[in-house]
Amino acid sequence: MARMHSRKRGKHGSKRPAKKTAPSWLLYDAKKAELLIAKLTKDGKTPSQIGILLRDAYGIPSVSALCGKSITEILKEKKLVQEVPEDLTALFKRYAAVRKHIENNKNDETAKRGLLLTDSKIKRLVKYYKRAGRIPETWKFDAERIGFFGE
């Protein structure tokens, strides 16, 4: 699939094994993994950071293979899910950083285009999350309010 704004085709990441079952050598069961996910969330980790930490430090290659559900589904059940999704928060941080850069470098046309593209991605993602019911219909992206994410 092509990239969103560049018309390029990138290399995909690493391939996961086709087998969707938990390996036999795994030390954790589903309950322990869910408790570990809840603990890491309370420590301030995002779902993607939790997945990387579980893979690298705890030896759990796939939470969905072990528990039968994703990390965000587990967090929804435990009512620990963030009000704004993680990918949207990352785009807010990028938007704030680029806007701060443009304040210092007013003639940087490439950065201005990057700001427009990031704004488009945010609006597209907000529209999707409203449709999916993940954020309220009244939620609105306010570029002036986003400044606190970058500092």
Buried b (16+ CB within 10 A) or exposed e, 61-91: ebbebbbeeebbebbeeeeebeeebeebeeb
| pTM of the predicted structure, to 2 decimals | 0.77
For residue 38, what pLDDT is reported? 95
Q: What's the pLDDT at 14?
A: 72
Q: Quick one: pLDDT at residue 105? A: 96
> What residues contact residue 81 under an 8 Å CB cut-off, 6+ apart?
72, 75
Secondary structure (DSSP) of 68-129: SS-HHHHHHHTT---SS-HHHHHHHHHHHHHHHHHHH-TT-HHHHHHHHHHHHHHHHHHHHH
In this predicted structure, what is the pLDDT of residue 149? 46
Task: Give me the tens of pLDDT residue by residue for the chain, a chain 151 residues long.
Answer: 567 887 788 777 777 767 788 888 889 999 999 999 999 999 999 999 999 999 999 999 899 999 999 999 999 999 998 888 999 999 999 999 999 999 999 999 999 999 999 999 999 999 999 999 999 999 888 877 765 444 3
